[in-house]
Structure 1
Amino acid sequence: MIRVLLVDDEALTLELHRGYIDRIEGFEVVAECSGARAAVTAVLEDAAGAGVDLILLDMTMPDGSGLDVLRHLRAHGAEVDVIAITSVRDADVVRQAISLGATHYLVKPFTFAALHERLEQYRLFHRRATDAAGPATQDEIDALLGASRPAAAVTLPKGLSATTLARVRDDVRGHDGAWSSATEIAERLGMSRVAARRYLEHLVEAGRIERGARYGAPGRPESEYRWRR
């Protein structure tokens, strides 16, 4: 479980973000703070009682900025990860947040999908960072750095819809690593097998899902797909 500290001076925002986190498997809110000083105390004195892996950190609060929080934490050797959550768009603030170790900078207001995407990227980064031990190869270093950065947008081929692509992607992802054929996915989504296969093959090329071969029936094996872990 990735333990999350929410820091924001607005109660409604804390409630909204807590609701978002509750919807994402593998993350749990262990503490909430409404100010900069309380956030520093929560991390350095472990007020949550369970430790903190990740802070969703507002950049503007009455008793200090998110940058102040980051400076204090780094000065005291705290290695907790941070995603900046703010309405501040100033490029200098963005640069400072990144230089102080923020893995992402998310501008308010944002959708659940936007936060979900950043947290999935962070999950991969956290897992690779946790698994890393001893001297790392260049490939391992590149993978760790790449996991902390947003994936580049993929241009859809002609005839594919972003909305339908998201439905296919979410269906495959929602089956927890289980293999499904294009026919099975098409039936679940109410679309043709040929259309489903086009979207699935696009996701394979984009590296989001993997393709396998299903044997058992006479003749040519059928392709099957699952989420790439």
Structure 2
Amino acid sequence: MIADEHSPRDLHVLVVDDEPMTARAHASYVDRLAGFTTVGVVGTASAAILAVRASGHGEAARIDVVLLDINMPDATGIDVARKLRAEGHDVDIIAVTAVREAATVKQAVSLGIAHYLLKPFTFQTFAEKLEALREYRAGLFDHVVSSQDEVDQTLAALRHASPQSSLPKGLTSETLTGVIAALRGLDAGSGISAKELSEQLALSRVTARRYLEHLVDTAAAERTPRYGTPGRPELEYRLS
């Protein structure tokens, strides 16, 4: 259900995901960012289309951004985007999905989807995408672009890559991707210790723990004590 009263300065975000826990997590991410407010959470393609229709068109629309899952029970996110564009809705769409097929990414681009964010991701990555979108929208607000350079700068605000420096010193995006993949591959309800991860990825135990703690610090993972072993409980990690 769409809320009625929100700050006019905020970008209003509709979260679309058929997994309730994931949808709530994404909504909480949105609400942690200054200038963004979650105005609705829905779990089906049809509900997403109805919500955007109800929000209206153009500057008066009550939904500015849709965080859109691709795989849903009644249709795909691509179907939703295609339908909304055919009806003339210019709402900004960010695909938030585990789908990695190149054909799907190409379809998303052709439909004007602003970002394609692969699950799982850190809060920092999520924040960078939404901040880039806000900067892009601000560059096009209520004026006529005066030059090609201004057009290029505005598009660059949307498409800029996340800087390597956004990671703590000594961490790399390539290794972080491997760590996230290892966590994603765990059985449901299972966790992995720094020692187990270090053996799996051929990292030192200290390095493995740094990556795991970074994911915890950015709310992408959680740590819990593992009991049943002699001595102090060992810590284990899993994706949030």
TM-score by length of 2: 0.62
Once the two structures are superposed, the pairs formed by residues 29-48 of structure 1 within 5 Å of their partners are 29-46=38-55
Structure number having the greater strand percentage: 1
Q: Would the aligned equivalents of 1:8 and 1:58 in 2 still touch at CA under 8 Å?
A: yes
Compute the RMSD of aligned alpha carbons.
2.3
> Which of 28, 35, 41 in structure 2 is aligned with 1:26?
35
Alignment pair present for 1:71 and 2:76: no
For structure 1, the residue ranges without an aligned partner over 5 or more in a row are 167-229
Aligned to 1:134: 144
**Which consecutive segments of 4 or more residues in structure 1 shift more than 4 A?**
none
Whole-Å Cα distance in 2 between the matches of residues 74 and 162 of structure 1?
A: 36
Q: Would the aligned equivalents of 1:59 and 1:85 in 2 still touch at CA under 8 Å?
A: yes
Aligned to 1:2: 11
Q: 1:138 to 1:165 in 2, by over 3 A?
A: farther
What displacement does 1:123 show?
1.2
Aligned to 1:150: 160
Q: For each residue in 1:90-121, what CA deviation from the matched residue of structure 2 results, as whole angstroms up to 9, or x when unmatched?
A: 00100100110111101111111110111111
Alignment pair present for 1:120 and 2:134: no
Q: 1:61 to 1:13 in 2, by over 3 A?
A: same
Q: For each residue in 1:35-65, what CA deviation from the matched residue of structure 2 results, as whole angstroms up to 9, or x when unmatched?
A: 0011011001228x96111100000000000
Q: For each residue in 1:181-216, what CA deviation from the matched residue of structure 2 results, as whole angstroms up to 9, or x when unmatched?
A: xxxxxxxxxxxxxxxxxxxxxxxxxxxxxxxxxxxx
TM-score by length of 1: 0.65
Q: 1:165 to 1:72 in 2, by over 3 A?
A: same
> Which of 82, 93, 102 in structure 2 is aligned with 1:82?
93
Aligned to 1:56: 67
Aligned to 2:214: none
Q: Percent identity?
A: 45
> Which residue identity does 1:118 align to in structure 2?
K
Q: How many pairs were matched up?
A: 159
> Which of 25, 32, 52 in structure 2 is aligned with 1:16?
25
> Which residue identity does 2:168 align to in structure 1?
T
Q: Would the aligned equivalents of 2:128 and 2:162 in 1 still touch at CA under 8 Å?
A: no
What displacement does 1:77 show?
0.4
